[in-house]
Each structure stands twice: as structure tokens, then as C-alpha cells.
Structure 1
Amino acid sequence: MPSIEQTIVTYPIVESFHSVQGEGYWTGTNAFFIRLAGCDVHCPWCDTKLSWKASRHPQQSVIELGKLAASVNPAIVVVTGGEPLMHDLTALTEALRAHSLQVNLETSGAHPLSGQFDWITLSPKTFLPPKPSIYPHVNELKVVIANPKDLEWATLQQSLVPESAFKYLQPEWNSRQSQKLVFDYVLQHPEWRISLQTHKFLGIQ
């Protein structure tokens, strides 16, 4: 049974939904998404700017979120944002893991790590760089590429994550130039893979 303290822990939620993971290592996997509100990274090409201001979104308890996730029997639960680590995620991950769910995190790493995760995807941004403490915990590095300087940033980030981490370059969605940059770079650097936003190609959430 959840403790009294746990039942009153809430988070600002932009949306939660059942779909498939569209990006990176887990592409095509049955997934339940929890999109937390609040972000101070403010990427200019962000496709979820509605998530930036936490006060605009309703609060939901961790008990509700755990039940919602478990009800669709997903292979993974993806905690994303916004920037989810703006919040202490301990109570949320406890509630999800109580249902024996695999819990994945998508983060820029700009805030201290909290919560217990089975998989951490780091998508570092130059606008607000990651905290050094996140790097040892990274399972997957995913760098969005909009221009050639982003490739230099990707190389730096590669040197900081564990050697075992999967490494992905993801073209900025609206830029054909970035698609070519990523394609050409991966052909020359076999340690990297291409990540595409397949959910956008499929027209799904």
C-alpha cells in the first residue's frame, strides 16, 4: 500500500499517453509517456514549447500516474518533458516501479539526477549544459544536430559518457541541411547511429 506521504506527491503534467517510442534505442517499443511540465533549457527548435511553464498545467498524483501507466501494460514508461529533472522524481519512480514497470528517463541533464531509472537517455544542450554527475549513469546519448557546431558538441559529449552508452545523432526535424550533416558524419564515424523521429513520419503522438 502507498504511504500517506506518497499519495499527496503531485507533479505538473502536460500529457500522458500510450504510444510507441519514436526515437533512439527503444524506437518502435510499446511505451507509456509521462510528459512533465517545466523547462529552463529553452531550445529554439523545441517541439514541445507548451511544456515550458509548469504553472499552466494540472497536477496529478503519483498514485494516479502509476495506475494509468500500469493499466495499458506498456513495455516501458518514458518520463520526459519539458525538463523532468527540474522536479525531484523519487516519488514518481517509486510509484511506477511498484507496478513492476521499466522506467526510462529522457533528460538534458541540466539539473541533478533524482529517482531510480532502468534507462537514462541524455540529450545534452549547449544552452544549459548537463551537470557532470549525470554522465556515469547514461545508457544512451542522443544529440540533436542543427548545424556543424553541434557535431563538435556531440564529440565532446561522447567523451564524457560511458563507453557502453549507445550514441545517436538526431537531425533537427525541419532542416534538410542537418539531415545531410548527420548522414555524412555517421558514415565517417561508425560509433554513432542515426536517430529519426519516426512518430512524426507515422503521424502519431
Structure 2
Amino acid sequence: MESFYTIQGEGQFQGHAAYFLRLGGCDVGCHWCDVKESWPIDTHPQVTIHQMLEDIKNTPTQIVVITGGEPLMHNLDPLTEVLQAAGYRTHIETSGVGEFTGYWDWICFSPKKFKKPNSEIFPKVDELKLVVFHPSDIEWVQQFVSQMPTNCKLLVQPEWSKRDDISPILVDFVKNNPQWNISIQTHKYLQIP
């Protein structure tokens, strides 16, 4: 759908320079999604892996983040193989639905209530990030914690439009559950993509 060089605004790598490849296609359908234009899989220009790599090489980035939409709607093996061979770290942000493909240096699993994830991803997750739209989301995500690797980062993040109401709840939750951390969408505060 689009590609851009920016600062990672969320999660464990917040603040790092990163090149984003946003792939078209999403069948999860979060009503609060801030990139609904990414949902159609076939309305975006086709770009070759070679062209993506050439565009990335025009930046000093070390990290390439594959996101969407839902990136696992695509076979990501060829893309990530080329990126890693060129020396880039490959990161994915996914709800975990669909077949798990790709070769990854960092896997951010962000499950959504709207569609059940494929459990194949669970043992590979580096970061479990919950976007909290309603306080009940915190209890819902607990079902995944015991299935994550022991060194998995646990992050809660207020959904942007609800941040004023949800942030105080997350502060209390993390104070009572210090194995969790808060992630905020710093790119939105910085007004960058």
C-alpha cells in the first residue's frame, strides 16, 4: 500500500529509525483501525521486491518493519529473505491470523478480538502488544500470556481515540502487574507517519 522511512512510534523499538512497508489487505476489520484504506488487497499498486529493496537502500535504515493491513495475508518468505540477505533487520507487526511466513528478527504480535490468531505464531513472539479500546480488552489478552515465550515483552497501548480514558486504567494495571509495560503511539504525538 505504501512505504516510508520514519521513527518507530510503538513497542520495544519505539524511537528507532525504521523503514515501513505497509502491505495492502486485511480481513480482521478493527472498527477503530486508523488505516482502513489498507484493507482491500487488490486496489494498491503492485511493487516488486527489487523495487522495494532499491527504495530502502536510499535510506540509512537498519530496520525494515512489515505491517499492514494484515501482512500475513501474503507469503513473506521471498521478501524477508531478500531483506535479510541485504543486511536489514526484519520486523513484523501482525495480529497473527493466517499462515505464518517470513524470516524475522523481531515479531510483534498484536491480537485482535475480531479474528482468532493462528497459534503457530505463539512460540516465536518477541513482543505481545495489546491495543486497548475497552477495559475488558486487558482481561481478554491474558489468555495469550502463558502461551508466549518467557522473554516476550508484554505491552499495553491505549487506542489513540480513547487515550484520555484508557491511559489512567493502563497506568493502574501496569503498577499492579509490573511484568507489563505501557506503549504509546509516539509517532502520533510527533505528527509523523
TM-score of the aligned structures, taking structure 2 as reference length: 0.97
Residue 187 (structure 2) pairs with residue 183 (structure 1): no
Residue 82 (structure 2) pairs with residue 95 (structure 1): yes
CA RMSD of aligned residues (A): 0.9
Q: Could you tell me the percent identity over the aligned residues? A: 44
Which residue does the alignment assign to 2:152?
165
Q: Does the CA contact (< 8 Å) of 1:77 and 1:101 recur in 2?
A: yes
- Amino acid aligned to 1:187: K
Q: Which runs of 5+ in 2 are unaligned?
A: none
Q: Give 1:129 shift.
A: 1.7
Which residue does the alignment assign to 2:25?
38
- Amino acid aligned to 1:74: T
Q: Give 1:70 shift.
A: 2.3
Which residue does the alignment assign to 1:126?
113
Which residue does the alignment assign to 1:19?
6
Pairing of 1:33-112 with structure 2 (within 5 A): 33-112=20-99
Q: Which runs of 5+ in 1 are unaligned?
A: 1-13
Q: Give 1:112 shift.
A: 1.3
Between 1:179-188 and 1:35-44, the stretch displaced more is: 179-188
Q: Does the CA contact (< 8 Å) of 1:70 and 1:99 recur in 2?
A: no
Between 1:129-138 and 1:151-160, the stretch displaced more is: 151-160
Q: Give 1:69 shift.
A: 1.4
CA shift digits 1:103-150 (9 cap, x unpaired) = 101100011110101110000011112101100000001001111210
Q: Does the CA contact (< 8 Å) of 1:172 and 1:179 recur in 2?
A: no
Residue among 115, 136, 148 paired with 2:123: 136
Equivalent position SS for 1:199: helix
- Amino acid aligned to 1:199: H
4+ runs of 1 displaced by more than 4 Å? none
Between 1:145-154 and 1:20-29, the stretch displaced more is: 145-154
For these two proteins, the number of residue pairs brought into alignment is 192
Equivalent position SS for 1:151: helix
Q: For the residues of structure 1 that align with 2:153 and 2:77, how far apart are their CA atoms?
A: 25
Q: Give 1:154 shift.
A: 2.0
Which residue does the alignment assign to 2:190?
202
